[in-house]
Amino acid sequence: MIYNVAQLMKSAPGTTLDVELDSDDQLDFSDVEGDEAAPAGPITGHVRLHRTNQGIFADGIVSVPMRLQCARCLKDFTTTLTFSVREEFFPTIDVVTGAPVFPLHSEEAFPIDRRHQLDLRDAIRQNLTLALPIRALCREECAGLCPQCGHDLNDGPCGCVVEQVDERFSALRGLLDDADESEQVG
Ligand SMILES: [Zn+2]
Ligand SMILES: [Zn+2]
């Protein structure tokens, strides 16, 4: 996911370079989402690098198999997230003169390093973070866990529903008992 763009930076604006993501590179995901989300396989994708007046615009589609935790049943599952990456990269050094280039006031942009290496990993990681579901579900109809006993309701019902009904009846019975008592007193 690191490409030398010296040649592209010497080219006229409008020139493009197509790159395939090489899946040997791993995304560092250690500081994001703790243990609940992690890449679970090789990253694939296709990115076109466009030479712009100031730098390079990267535009592509990336797929990452991810291990996520279901928000309902808390089990890990694997799903492939596919998302677009559209980010600007600016040089830190002039490719022809070697003079430092003053950083542009763009917090959105990524730097091309002094050896003219464009590193897509941070851009992919940021877009992957945005593509993560807020509530990941192992499947749309996941039944989740029983809030009382923690039983995985995907494996079948637990005894708690009956208990809930029993509690209602016992509460009702308590009321009736009170009524009986007050009648007896009266
Ligand atoms: Zn689930
Ligand atoms: Zn239960």
pTM (two decimals) = 0.75
pLDDT > 70: percent of the chain: 76
- Using the mean position of ligand 2's atoms as its centre, give its distance from the Cα of residue 164 in Å: 10
- Using the mean position of ligand 1's atoms as its centre, give its distance from the Cα of residue 75 in Å: 6
Q: Which helix (H) or strand (E) holds 90?
A: strand 76-91
Could you read off the pLDDT of 115-159 as tens digits, one per residue? 999 999 999 999 998 999 989 999 999 999 999 999 999 999 998
User: Minimum-distance ligand to the CA of 150?
Assistant: 2
- Which of 64, 122, 65 is closest to 88 using CA atoms? 122
What's the mean pLDDT in 160-186?
56
Residues with CB under 5 A from ligand 1 (ion): 70, 72-73, 138, 142
Could you read off the pLDDT of 53-90 as tens digits, one per residue? 989 999 999 999 999 999 999 999 999 999 999 999 99
Give me the helices (H) in 18-159, please. 121-131
- Please say whether the beta carbons of 118 and 139 come within 8 A: no
Backbone angles phi, psi at 37, to 5 degrees: -140, 135
Chain-centre distance for alpha carbon 111: 23
Ranges of beta strands (E only) in the chain are 2-4, 16-20, 37-39, 44-51, 56-69, 76-91, 110-112, 117-119
Residues with CB under 5 A from ligand 2 (ion): 146, 148-149, 151, 158, 160
